[in-house]
Amino acid sequence: MKILLATAYEYPHIGGLSTHVTTLKAGLEARGHEVDVLSFANIAPVVRKLYAQGPSYVMNKIRKGRGILWTHHVRQNCVQKLIEKNKHKNYCLINAQDPFSTLAALETGIPVVSTVHGYATFESISKGSMIEGSPEAKKFQSIEIKAYKGTRKIVTVDQRLKNYIKEVSGVEATAIRNFIDIHSFKPDKGKRQEFRAQYGVDQDEQVVFIPRRLVPKNGVIYPALSFPAVLQKYPKARLIYAGEGTQMAEIKRIAAENGIEDRVTLLGNVPHDKVKDYFALSDIVIVPSVYSAGVEEATSISALEAMGSGTPLIACAVGGLKEIVNPGVDGLLIEEKSAEQMAAAIMELLDNPERGAEMARKAREKIEQEYSHITAAAKYEEIYLSALQMK
């Protein structure tokens, strides 16, 4: 089968959607399919900046939300033209990765399956890009619903998103939980010292790693809030963040106020192929997601990668994280927004490294059995074949 994966966002980029596309492509190709990716990044940079991003910034200053609607309208049109330009490749099907690439793909006449990664409207509200209940937010959601009703099949990355699609549009979706490349993300603890030397991390530090974009819904301030208590018992502990976002300044402020700037490392965005090195050199990984403006974590790829990498995981009991972590067996679940519980969980794992290693071992077993990209690709293949039979 010849398949096109399309997104109105940039690809590749730092984030879960991009990782999903890369991993799905690998799984489908391993099953013998031919897969291409088209994204907004394939548009000339001058067009992206002058036509989409520049006007959007100005319009959002005039009225919050207008700029977001504008830039997505432009992205949709650009992706549609890209697909039309590539129709000679005779794709059997397009798997669109967002509502705007769905609407773009539908205009081309090629059969479309859509993957829903999140709550598009509510995530824009959570980011502060538009106001809840505003005409712009209502328009944004109407675009979502149009996409859901127009596509042949919908795949969601967790059960809550499936329920959300049904609630807002009446359309039944299929939930296929997120997955990882189990060959790339595997235990590599034998290179722990090598990676620490390579990345300038002291061999005797206890490293707590947060591989998250620094945005409110990811709860990234709470590891920093928890760390003063951890440092009282483990003064050589280090907190390492991999990601960028609006919360970076707040993390720096928290670290400065508590006098722990020298124990908090903010790496900024880290290439995905390097993130696995940090999993290997770390003692603990935290996925500290919180509820934010109606948005909850789906089946977190960061959490799955941690579980597949041989490092014990601490996660907040939010959204899909509650589905993938069996607390006390293959990871620890704590209450969201609780710096006290987070500090206690960190110290519990540092106090009992053997227990952490056993949880990490069981987590790897779960990933191999339930979250393999090869297994997920087979499920997607079934959806594609079913969609192609529809008229």
Q: Residue 49's pLDDT is what?
A: 78
Per-residue model confidence (pLDDT) at position 100: 96
Residue ranges and CATH numbers for the domains of the chain are 2-179+372-388 (3.40.50.2000), 189-370 (3.40.50.2000)
pLDDT (tens, 9 = 90+) of the chain, 391 residues, equals 999 999 999 998 877 889 899 999 999 999 999 999 999 999 888 878 777 777 777 787 788 888 889 888 999 999 999 999 999 999 999 999 999 999 999 999 999 999 999 898 988 888 788 899 999 999 999 999 999 999 999 999 988 899 999 999 999 999 998 899 988 888 888 999 999 999 999 999 999 999 999 999 899 999 999 999 999 999 999 999 999 999 999 999 999 999 999 999 999 999 888 999 999 999 999 999 998 766 677 678 899 999 999 999 999 999 889 889 999 999 999 999 999 999 999 999 999 999 999 999 999 999 999 999 999 999 999 999 999 999 6
The DSSP symbol for 261 reads G
Output the pLDDT for position 224.
98
Can you give the pLDDT at residue 294? 66
Instruction: Enter the DSSP assignment of 8.
Output: S
Q: Model confidence over 228-277: pLDDT tens digits?
A: 999 999 999 999 999 999 999 999 999 999 999 999 999 999 988 899 99
**CA distance readout (Å), 76 to 92, 99, 152, 187, 269:** 21, 9, 18, 40, 26
CA–CA distance, 77 with 91 (Å, rounded to integer): 19
98 Rama class: left (phi>0) / alpha (psi -120 to 50) / beta: beta
pLDDT given for residue 293 in this prediction: 66
Nearest to 310 by CA among 270, 362, 241, 349: 362
Q: Order of strands across the sheet with 153-156?
A: 34-39, 2-7, 93-96, 112-116, 153-156, 174-175
- Total length of the chain: 391
